[in-house]
Amino acid sequence: MRLYAVGVSHRTAPVELRECIDFARQGVDRALSALAERGLGRELVVLSTCNRAEIYAVTDAEGPESLFGRFMSEYHGLGYDVVSPHLFVHRGADAARHLFRVAAGLDSLVVGEPQILGQVKDAYATANDLKHTGALTNRLFHSAFAVGKRVRAETGLGEGAVSVSYAAVSLAKKIFGDLKGLGVLILGAGEMAKLTGVHLQAQQVKQLAIASRTLAAAETLARHLNGRAVPWASLPDALSAADIVITATGATEPVLTRARIEDVMRPRRSRPLFVIDIAVPRDVEANAGDLDQVFLYNIDDLQGIVKENMARRAGELDRADAIVAEEVERFAAWMHSREI
């Protein structure tokens, strides 16, 4: 029996592929059952977030790299040749190292973000409740939780961590310089939309509008941000008025099609529209960016801002990596003791 971690993440795959590989869409429990039915692991945990889809398995299957890659491809209706170039595979202690870095926020698009530790805990809890875990994955994941806590307690990595929402607003500032005289429309009313609104508030934008399919949710967020709620039926007018649109709806299909954006561009009389899509799956059809005077950015375009953030905290990263190395050594020694 050997431990494997196989998957795709923002480090290995573009958003165009990541949005197609989403175990959470049909339920992680369903994916776990499908893996078990195929005999792909004695112990199994599936981690699925907007920026990663990963399988952790204890298995004696031959050629697990290909088996898990083909499973991920077939499960999502994709060709193996499409997925395989973007797969990562880690074995044994390297699989543990990968998970520990993930749990500590070191492998996140935004390094140091705290949400991932909770997502790792949820992934383990689901697998454990469904009896897909065992001695090795139990030890592995509890060690990962400890690493995540240590990194936050013993380093300053989480202090002032840049979120995706912050990075999106920073991108808008890089484009426009001063945001004070601009109108901004946020699509969505969840946590990411809320954080985006808070950062926009700090920039003193001229007008802040929030649109959601659920008007009550938009109204609640608008009150919190001193903004204006927009009924979904009035979205064309709101799009026509906005200088910047930031989308974070969590929808499974694009909410802004090329045709819809093309319609709202006509009355704008060549006034440019900047759209920053931070949702995965994406909220905006990619070919909308081909329209004249439409400037479309997605979550992968935030990498430059994220790298600047990492450079400022290089010392904290070194300390966090040292904690990971220490805990990997401890876990590897435990695995070795089981084999003797």
- At 261-275, the pLDDT tens digits run 999 998 888 899 999
Is residue 6 domain-shared with residue 135, that is, in the same domain? yes
Is residue 150 domain-shared with residue 169, that is, in the same domain? no
Contact 227, 197 (CB under 8 A): yes
Alpha helices for the chain (secondary structure H): 15-18, 23-26, 28-37, 64-75, 80-83, 93-103, 115-129, 135-154, 164-176, 191-202, 215-225, 235-241, 258-265, 303-312, 314-339
Q: Is residue 33 part of a domain?
A: yes
**Residues near 222 by beta carbon (within 8 Å), at least 6 away in sequence:** 208, 209, 210, 228, 229
pLDDT digits (tens, 9 = 90+) for 106-150: 999 888 888 899 999 999 999 999 999 999 999 999 999 999 999
Q: Is residue 222 part of a domain?
A: yes
Is residue 6 domain-shared with residue 143, that is, in the same domain? yes
Q: Give residue 65's pLDDT.
A: 80
Q: Is residue 310 part of a domain?
A: no
The domain that holds 255 is classified in CATH as 3.40.50.720
Is residue 103 domain-shared with residue 203, that is, in the same domain? no
Length of the chain as a residue count:
340
Q: How far apart are CA 162 and CA 112, in angstroms?
A: 8
Q: Is residue 93 part of a domain?
A: yes
What's the token pair of residue 226? 């001193």
Q: Is residue 309 part of a domain?
A: no
Is residue 148 domain-shared with residue 212, that is, in the same domain? no
Q: Give residue 310's pLDDT.
A: 73
Is residue 118 domain-shared with residue 202, that is, in the same domain? no
Is residue 102 domain-shared with residue 216, that is, in the same domain? no
Q: Is residue 320 part of a domain?
A: yes
Q: How far apart are CA 318 and CA 324, in angstroms?
A: 10
Left if phi > 0, otherwise alpha if psi is -120 to 50, otherwise beta: which for 131? left
Q: How far apart are CA 336 and CA 134, in angstroms?
A: 17
Q: Give residue 340's pLDDT.
A: 53
Q: Is residue 212 part of a domain?
A: yes
Is residue 21 domain-shared with residue 64, that is, in the same domain? yes
Single-letter code of the amino acid located at 106: L
Instruction: Domain count for the chain, please give it.
Output: 2
Which residues does the annotation mark as catalytic?
50
Q: Which residues of 35-63 are buried (b: 16+ CB within 10 A; e: fewer)?
A: bbeeebbbbbbbbbbbbbbbbbbbbebee
Domain interval for residue 271: 164-304
The domain that holds 326 is classified in CATH as 3.30.460.30
The answer to pTM > 0.85 is: no
Which residues in the chain land under pLDDT 70? 160-162, 340
Q: How far apart are CA 337 and CA 194, in angstroms?
A: 48
Classify 2 as helix, strand or coil: strand
Q: What is the DSSP-derived secondary structure letter of residue 11?
A: T
Q: How far apart are CA 103 and CA 121, in angstroms?
A: 9
Q: Give residue 307's pLDDT.
A: 78
Is residue 187 domain-shared with residue 110, that is, in the same domain? no
Is residue 287 domain-shared with residue 331, that is, in the same domain? no
**Residues near 328 by beta carbon (within 8 Å), at least 6 away in sequence:** 93, 96, 97, 100
